[in-house]
Structure 1
Amino acid sequence: MASLLTPVKGKLFIDSTRKSTHALDGAYASLLRGHSLDFDDLRAYEYGDQIRDIDWKATARLGSPVVRRSLATRMHTVLFAVDTGLAMTALAHDEKPKKDLAILSVGVLGLLALRHGDDFCLVSGDSAGVRRREIGRSEAALEHTLRTIDRAVDAASAPSDRDALLSYIARTIARRMIVIVITDDAPVTDETERLLRRLRVQHDVLWITLRDAEPVLESRPSGAGAKARRDVATRWAVPEFLQGDPELAAELHAADAADVAHTEALLRRLEITHVPLAEQDEAVGALLRMLDARSHVRHG
């Protein structure tokens, strides 16, 4: 089987030369705050925070508990939480396999983790079950991780279950990690919000949304026998006569925009940095912007 990591390195190299390798490294290095002697900022106390982290002077001054945060100096573990259910077998917005966009995301961020001496691990699955891959510390381990995702999506037969992934992490992983959720653009649920509120106290959570292809196109595909668009979960095919219907396309766009706005508002409220990925060609730059945004987050 051809290496999955080699094309990832190619895309990372191209984007690094356009911008700066130092920019990539710098954004990643600022990603996680931890315990050290270097003060970073203050934020409101939340259930689950350590009592030792409370800044008593600031608490007395403000009238409510606040905790002191410091820049991390220790080695981190990046945990990739990847949906490998049926939803990941669909096409992304650029009409290429969504699976490939997930592999690119894990590959780029995994390479940056290795460059900084950090570990990584994988939690993946669907409604049939969640699996965890052991911690990796090498490019060979990252290659195996990418192949695990590739094989799992190819063999997917059960619906995606994002909440099952989040619940597994909340129940089984106590040590603080950088948790990067890679999922599709299905609407978030009340259970998702509950789990994220729990996770963000213990972990540094980032969210990557892989955008679906348009189910109905604004213009009818050219050429006879264009491949039908089909729902991957139900196998229901979108009738060909609906393609090119501008009113229906606009209605679907409006519904999608409402779902996106709801997800964005929830993640912003929970102070979880989020990036939507629509196409492979822009993915590395978007991931860099996500890391930059996270490194500049300040919690009041």
Structure 2
Amino acid sequence: MASLITQVKSKLFIRSSQKSMHALDGAYASLLRGRSLDFEDLRPYEFGDQVRDIDWRATAKQGEPLIKRTKATRMHTVLFLVDSGRGMKALAEDERSKRDLVVLLTGALGFLTVRHGDDFSIIYGDSDRVRRLPPGGTEGALEHALRTIRQAIDDSDTPSDRDALLRYTARNISRRSIVVIVTDETPMSDDTDRLLRRLKVQHDVLWLTVRDAEIVVAGSARASAFDRAVDPGLARTAPGHRRDVDSGWGIPDFVHGDAEVMAELAALEEADTAHRDEVLRRHEITHAEFGGQDTAVATLLTMLNRRSHARA
């Protein structure tokens, strides 16, 4: 079986040049690393670096922008809360597996964590139980973690329980960490709001939403956690052959193209999204939505840069 980290790296190191990796490195370093006055070295400016890190005197001498790097004063722990319920067996917005997108997002941030000498840990689970992997700081530990997450999603036969992950973290994790929540579009509950308020007192929190696949209804409506119930090659030409992952309910053909159903689904999604965004904004939690694997790295970079600028 191919290494999952190798697959993640193939998304990070795009177009043979390493500009995307440099940009992510710069965004990660400015966001998560401790800052000190101890000089380490100079390097050329790369897209994604912060203007405040430019050494203007050295830049004037060399005739090109140079970044002054300083030694980090502390190590961070990045704690991933990964929803591994059966809803993650469904399709993402790009018509590919949500599970694989979850692995990519966790792997990309996990790889940056390891690359910068920080530790990571994984808490994952569904409505049946919540589990935690021991902290790690190597690519080998990250590979094991990604395989564990993927297998947990494949094996899950119970619904997701995002609040259980948040509750476990609030009760058991006392050391200040950077908490990265990887979840889907399941509506927020009042308990989610309360638990996020509690977590923000102790931790820095980021929220990554994996967007669900669209129902093929004039290309506009959406529903959560739908999966193909037929061979993937037939799904695009037979839109009625889909089923809800949690309930197993198949979407009847007569629903497709029904303007009233489309409007009702769109209104429901808009209300759920507005409520989620309001809660995250109120708690000052950085958030991004991820629709597919091909755009995941660019969206991740935008999110990290937006957060680092906000903290500047």
Shift of 1:245: 2.9
Deviations 1:132-151 (A, max 9, x none): 00111111111111100110
Residue 304 of structure 2: aligned partner: 291
> Residue in 2 aligned with 1:163?
163
| Structure 1 counterpart of 2:249, one-letter code | W
- After TM superposition, the runs of 4+ consecutive aligned structure 1 residues lying more than 4 A away are 33-38, 219-222
Secondary structure of 2:287 counterpart: strand
Change (3 A) 1:222 1:164: closer
CA shift digits 1:226-250 (9 cap, x unpaired): 5612111110111122123344223
What corresponds to 1:182 in structure 2? 182
Greater alpha carbon shift after TM alignment, 258-267 vs 119-128: 258-267
Give ranges in structure 1 of 5+ residues lacking alignment: 39-71
Does residue 250 (structure 1) correspond to residue 263 (structure 2)? The answer is yes
Change (3 A) 1:222 1:179: closer
1:30 partner SS: helix
Which piece of structure 1 moves more, 207-216 or 89-98? 207-216
Instruction: State the AA in 2 paired with 1:168.
Output: Y
Task: Please give the TM-score of this superposition, normalised by the length of structure 2.
Answer: 0.79
| TM-score of the aligned structures, taking structure 1 as reference length | 0.82
Which deviations, in whole Å up to 9, do the C-alpha atoms of 1:6-59 show, x marking residues without a partner? Answer: 111101001794854332111111223769789xxxxxxxxxxxxxxxxxxxxx
- 1: CA distance between counterparts of 2:236 and 2:12? 34
Equivalent residue, structure 1, for 2:130: 130
Task: Indicate conservation of the 8 Å contact 1:24/1:288, yes or no.
Answer: yes
TM-superposed deviation, 1:252: 1.3
Cα pair 2:209 2:289 within 8 Å, conserved: yes
Quote the Cα distance in structure 2 between the aligned partners of 1:16 and 1:115. 19
Matches within 5 A, 1:47-196: 73-196=73-196
Q: Distance in 1 between matches of 2:307 and 2:280?
A: 12
CA contact (8 A) 2:182 2:207 kept: yes
Instruction: Judge which range, 270-279 or 3-12, deviates more.
Output: 3-12
SS in 2 for 1:256: helix
* Alignment CA distance shift 1:19-1:269 (3 Å): farther
The more displaced of 160-169 and 258-267 is 258-267
**2:282 match:** 269
**Partner of 2:242: helix, strand, or coil?**
coil
| Residues 36 and 188 of structure 1: CA distance in aligned 2, closer, same or farther (over 3 Å) | farther
Alpha-carbon RMSD across the aligned residues, in angstroms, is: 2.4
Question: What's the secondary structure of 1:79's corresponding residue?
Answer: strand
Tell which has more relative contact order, 1 or 2 (C-alpha 8 A, sep 6+). Answer: 1
Matched residue SS, 1:6: helix
CA contact (8 A) 2:90 2:245 kept: yes
In structure 2, the gaps of 5 or more residues are 39-71, 221-234
In 2, the alpha carbon distance for the partners of 1:163 and 1:198 equals 12
Deviations 1:38-91 (A, max 9, x none): 9xxxxxxxxxxxxxxxxxxxxxxxxxxxxxxxxx73111111100000111111
Q: How does 1:6-25 map to 2 (within 5 A)?
A: 6-14=6-14, 17=17, 19-25=19-25
Q: How many Å separate the matches in 2 of 1:116 and 1:244?
A: 50
Question: Which residue pairs with 1:47 in the alignment?
Answer: none
How far apart in 2 are the matches of 1:149 and 1:266?
Answer: 27
Counterpart residue identity of residue 200, structure 1: K
How many residue pairs were aligned?
266
| Residue pair 2:89, 2:154 contacting (<8 A) in 1 also | yes
